Structure 1
Amino acid sequence: MELNREDGSGEEFLAFTLGHEEYGIDILKVQEIRGYETVTRIANAPPFIKGVINLRGIIVPIVDLRIKFQLESVEYNQYTVVIILNLTDRVVGIVVDGVSDVLTLQSQQIRPAPEFAGALDTQYIRGLGAIDERMLILMDIEQLLRAPDMALVESAEMA
């Protein structure tokens, strides 16, 4: 995946937190940011698929990335947000602990994802963004949501 832009303007990422880590996703995939609301549960769905919401007539599956990434404590409070993503062929919501800001990263600020000898799956990590003292884990959110264990997201949309 190409990280460089020809015009030198950089790439914009929406920064959000999961536990103690800060992540970034391509701002162009973000449709809107909403507060967490009650979802309609789907029978036999894995725990990280919270259910679906009706967003202006579109049924949107909601995935809690905190549960997906096995964070120790997952609580829903006034800071919990849902990032509604508009991907190539579907709309999906992801639950995160909070959203901080939109950051523009130049290609020299983006480092390749580190290699871990089989201990950690890094295929969903585009790279690491360095902004002053901050380190942002840049996710390929579309790749993550198309993973085989997320197949229920597609079937949830058709329900």
Structure 2
Amino acid sequence: MSQTEAVEAKTEAAAMPIVDSDGIESMYLTFAVGDESYGVSIGMVTEIVGMQTIMSVPDVPHYIKGVINLRGKVIPLMDVRLRFGIEERPYDERTVVIVLEVDDAPIGLIVDRVSEVLDVPADKIDRTGNFGGGEGKSMVSALARIEDRLAILLDVHALVSDADLKMPDLS
């Protein structure tokens, strides 16, 4: 292959979309909190890690358990049970942290257990409108029908964007 052909091939490859129309946009990481199944877009997930040593941080909402140091990166942790008003329970060997990248900032969601990554076609997703019924934006963006069960798809921005989620400046 000539140098010109190599450059053309590289340019052509760079112009190709990373995913096709039914690629990553339709994939959700599902997890359990209590008896319910929830999902977040896999495109926002950076990693899943086991529970870490949590450093408490004062003056944060009760559902922010503190921060962890993950390979030199400070990540605030939200206990999803507490965020949803579900009774707190001790963490066990199945409790994990789902690390998300939201608006260029990492946040960890503490969940009871991770289930699976599902490819959910658009015709199996029912958009919800506003379940919250209040002035705020609902954390629920849609319901996914997966065989004989439902998964609640979360609007991660609504979940983590409340004004009271601002972490104190630790610098």
Aligned to 2:163: 148
Higher relative contact order (CA 8 A, sep 6+): 1
Q: What is the aligned counterpart of 1:127 among 142, 155, 170?
A: 142
How many residue pairs get aligned? The number is 152
- Residues 53 and 115 (structure 1), Cα distance of their counterparts in 2 relative to 1, 3 Å cut: closer
Question: Does the 8 Å CA contact 1:115/1:122 hold for their aligned counterparts?
Answer: yes
Aligned to 1:113: 128
- Residues 118 and 6 (structure 1), Cα distance of their counterparts in 2 relative to 1, 3 Å cut: same
Question: Does the 8 Å CA contact 2:64/2:77 hold for their aligned counterparts?
Answer: yes
Larger radius of gyration: 2
Aligned to 2:90: 75
Runs of 4+ in 1 over 4 A off after TM superposition: 114-117, 119-122
Aligned to 2:46: 31
- Residues 13 and 91 (structure 1), Cα distance of their counterparts in 2 relative to 1, 3 Å cut: same
TM-score (norm 1): 0.85
Q: Distance in 2 between matches of 1:11 and 1:134?
A: 17
Q: Percent identity?
A: 34
Cα distance, 1:117 vs structure 2: 7.7
Aligned to 1:14: 29
SS in 2 for 1:40: coil
Question: Does the 8 Å CA contact 2:60/2:165 hold for their aligned counterparts?
Answer: no
TM-score (norm 2): 0.79
Q: Distance in 2 between matches of 1:8 and 1:141?
A: 21
Cα distance, 1:6 vs structure 2: 7.8
Question: Does the 8 Å CA contact 2:79/2:109 hold for their aligned counterparts?
Answer: yes
Q: Distance in 1 between matches of 2:94 and 2:20?
A: 37
Task: Kindly provide the CA deviation profile for residues 49-78 of structure 1, in whole angstroms up to 9, marking residues without a partner as x.
Answer: 111111111111111111111112422111
Question: Does the 8 Å CA contact 1:113/1:122 hold for their aligned counterparts?
Answer: no
Question: Does the 8 Å CA contact 1:80/1:97 hold for their aligned counterparts?
Answer: yes
Aligned to 1:41: 56
Cα distance, 1:94 vs structure 2: 0.7
The root-mean-square deviation of aligned C-alpha atoms, in Å, is 2.3
Aligned to 1:101: 116
Give unpaired runs (5+ residues) of structure 1.
none
